[in-house]
Structure 1
């Protein structure tokens, strides 16, 4: 409409000039239209129409919240020679507000104005944010409209650092420290506060270093199991150079260690549970390995030797269910073998083979009497002990590293990850079969997990550098709080 008005004025002027024998001097100043508005910016188009030579000392626009222009914002564009369009821009306006605008020109002390038009700045709008789940220090994107330069973003009560605000519609922020696991995201644009309907979920989980292995050694390919109030770890090798022939017991209450003797022969790569130790290698030299077929039951603080294994086992997985022991896979003999040990009869039974190869390199856990294991393709398998059926039930979303991950159940959730040369840990809800990531464990990505156990809702994890990392490094025992902020 404003363009049509300007065109009509021009047509009338030209017709008037054409019909007049003597040209009259005509000058018209027009406030044509609003080219652009946002929450705080406006861009205006004006035009000076004249049939004479004209020079103005200044020209531009007046902008005001009231039609009387009592306290106007003056957009000065400076001197101008002759007719033509001109564009002016104002910044720092208030969002969602009505303004009045008009053109002006300064003819050497005489100010002339054009017509008045009304405009409205826009209100801010929220559209989305991503990711919806993340950790402190990560970057989060907020998409919306009409954000102003002084926009602020809050996660709950904690203000986020804004890294960039682009095109008044995209904000990049650094996720601030957590006050709660789930917090609303508020965006404050001048005098308006907007809030997303869904909350942001923090990636959580805290690690506390509570102890170190009592000897200045690094043991590999070891055995570990739960004590009544802590951890027992041992056997395996010292930096793969010599056997470590004993155990060390850690007591959570006193945070102290004590040595535990083992009456059996040394070994590495043995299978183990909280009640059994068996198999493994009897010599350090491979190609081929000498297999240790002795089999032991753990009785409280002591050990009872059982009849030797009727099969060879190296890096097998062992788990218990309904009072029986199961041994799965091996890097010696049949890698698909599944065997069941009956402690009453002290007899072994061969069960149908597994669908894929498994060994101690595969993270695994037991939940409600059934066995779960992550294969080399990240598929999570469930072995139903009652039916003997194998089924793929999920896919592990984390980094498989170089194998040898851990699995540990706390309540209805399993914690899987911390593979060799990785630091990520994932929580699996065993009711919904959904995964969420937890905070990474401290130290370096070259570490490996050598022991883990659960106590009173906390996960305890022992880590140390991989064998390829030279130097003197301790074996660190961490306490992990899955719900820690």
Structure 2
């Protein structure tokens, strides 16, 4: 073939190839897809888009439009900035309204104009709250509320009072501080998400227990290891040791009517570490022990008709014993006799004493005990195990474990209905409440006074607990008198 013809043909091939490549360049298109919503909650949406092309792009911006209407008037624009490489991109927005329909589309700003992807329709989710913990505590307790689709402006209310929201994690956990209490202990907990109120099934129970200090004891007398009892609206406390140093022979009376302490005439002598229960008291020692030695007393007294009646002497030693009335009988347990496990029963109707079976552990007059129904409950000071004695069968049963401080004893135990209020052992400010029906213990507000003191006497009237406190020897000042409203705020 002629070489000149071959050259012309080659030139034509090159020209055609060049023209073909130019045509391919100008025909390259950029496609934009709004792929899917990869995360959706009550106020937040995370959306996936994709740029499809065979070469880099020169986008000055890209992202998403979100609108309440399909015309996208006044849209929320999620701007992700410049873009060169094709491929996927993710945008996120917050501040949406809960349970609302929105329209979403992707966009890319190219030199030739803005290009939009397809439109997706979404509906934001409903919030909900499942529960919270803890469900009881004092003012200022930090609670955690679990749920879903909480928004950043979610509010929490306890009763009608707004709680301080500390943080909201993952739109599913609220940490809040319980506000000041209202007029009742048990309050509804409400979560408000935008315009939707969610009332939780459980209620928050404020820790109760309101202490008020009354006038101090009128003299410098400080009672230790003393007796106390109650007759209607009159409270009696006395005997024992004055400031822990000398036997005291005086008894004082507090009248709720006059709100004054007055000394009463007691025809007997001083008794140290005597037992007292109901209107009965006795035993103990006539002098404070020296080197473990003391002179035991067999005195046995009853307070009736506004006077003290001396009963026949005890037939057994009863120093430092715990005692209580139950089922028409007086029980005197433990103390210095035997190994601290001896038990005696006095039948009030017949005036007869009888020794009964030993108790399960060693006790003395400082052991925490309380009564409910026909049972008396005693707390083992070593193990904190609680045992009850049935007033009819005189058998012992294990009840549970005491959760509070035992320390060196002297805690009070008072029963009001089906609730037992205990606490304030030596050098402890703890107060506890037991629901005797369920066996559940809860903390009460702590005693606000000086813990370096012992409970010298405890009285109950009109669901209020009156506590006479005797400061330890090194604490100056008279005995303090307090009243506790165990269910007060």
Any idea what the Cα deviations from partners look like across 1:348-371, whole Å, max 9, x if unmatched? Answer: 321121122222232223444543
Distance in 2 between the 1:401 and 1:129 partners? 34
Answering whether residue 104 of structure 2 is matched by residue 90 of structure 1, we say no
Q: Select 1:484's aligned residue among 480, 483, 488.
A: 488
Residue in 1 aligned with 2:10?
none
Residue in 2 aligned with 1:10?
none
Residue in 1 aligned with 2:388?
382
TM-score by length of 1: 0.87
Aligned partners of 1:279 and 1:309 also within 8 Å: yes
Offset at 1:144? Answer: 0.6
Residue in 1 aligned with 2:16?
none
Residue in 1 aligned with 2:127?
124
Residue in 2 aligned with 1:184?
188
Distance in 2 between the 1:431 and 1:105 partners? 69
Any idea what the Cα deviations from partners look like across 1:19-42, whole Å, max 9, x if unmatched? Answer: 998343222222222222221111
Aligned partners of 2:339 and 2:362 also within 8 Å: no
Distance in 1 between the 2:310 and 2:231 partners? 19
Aligned residue for 1:211, secondary structure, equals coil
Q: Select 1:22's aligned residue among 21, 24, 39.
A: 24
Offset at 1:466? Answer: 4.7
Residue in 2 aligned with 1:454?
460
Any idea what the Cα deviations from partners look like across 1:36-71, whole Å, max 9, x if unmatched? Answer: 222111122222233344322222211111111001
Aligned residue for 2:47, secondary structure, equals strand
Decide whether aligned partners of structure 1 residues 116 and 167 sit closer, same or farther in structure 2, where only a CA change above 3 A counts: same
Decide whether aligned partners of structure 1 residues 252 and 59 sit closer, same or farther in structure 2, where only a CA change above 3 A counts: same
Aligned residue for 1:315, secondary structure, equals coil
Larger Rg: 2
Distance in 2 between the 1:448 and 1:165 partners? 46
Answering whether residue 313 of structure 2 is matched by residue 315 of structure 1, we say no
Offset at 1:180? Answer: 2.6
Offset at 1:231? Answer: 1.4
Distance in 1 between the 2:349 and 2:200 partners? 61
Distance in 2 between the 1:418 and 1:230 partners? 23
Distance in 2 between the 1:432 and 1:150 partners? 39
Aligned partners of 2:62 and 2:108 also within 8 Å: yes
Decide whether aligned partners of structure 1 residues 311 and 28 sit closer, same or farther in structure 2, where only a CA change above 3 A counts: same
Q: Select 1:174's aligned residue among 173, 177, 182.
A: 177
Aligned residue for 1:29, secondary structure, equals strand
Residue in 1 aligned with 2:5?
none
Offset at 1:152? Answer: 0.7
Q: Select 1:276's aligned residue among 259, 277, 280.
A: 280
Q: Select 1:68's aligned residue among 65, 68, 71.
A: 71
Distance in 1 between the 2:68 and 2:335 partners? 81
Aligned partners of 1:294 and 1:306 also within 8 Å: no
Decide whether aligned partners of structure 1 residues 321 and 62 sit closer, same or farther in structure 2, where only a CA change above 3 A counts: closer
Where structure 2 has 5 or more consecutive residues not aligned to the other structure, the ranges are: 1-19
Output aligned runs, 1:226-245, within 5 Å: 226-245=230-249
TM-score by length of 2: 0.86
Residue in 2 aligned with 1:264?
268
Residue in 2 aligned with 1:340?
345
Aligned residue for 1:80, secondary structure, equals coil
Offset at 1:173? Answer: 1.7
Aligned partners of 2:280 and 2:303 also within 8 Å: no
Aligned residue for 2:213, secondary structure, equals strand
Where structure 1 has 5 or more consecutive residues not aligned to the other structure, the ranges are: 1-17
Decide whether aligned partners of structure 1 residues 150 and 217 sit closer, same or farther in structure 2, where only a CA change above 3 A counts: farther
Answering whether residue 370 of structure 2 is matched by residue 365 of structure 1, we say yes
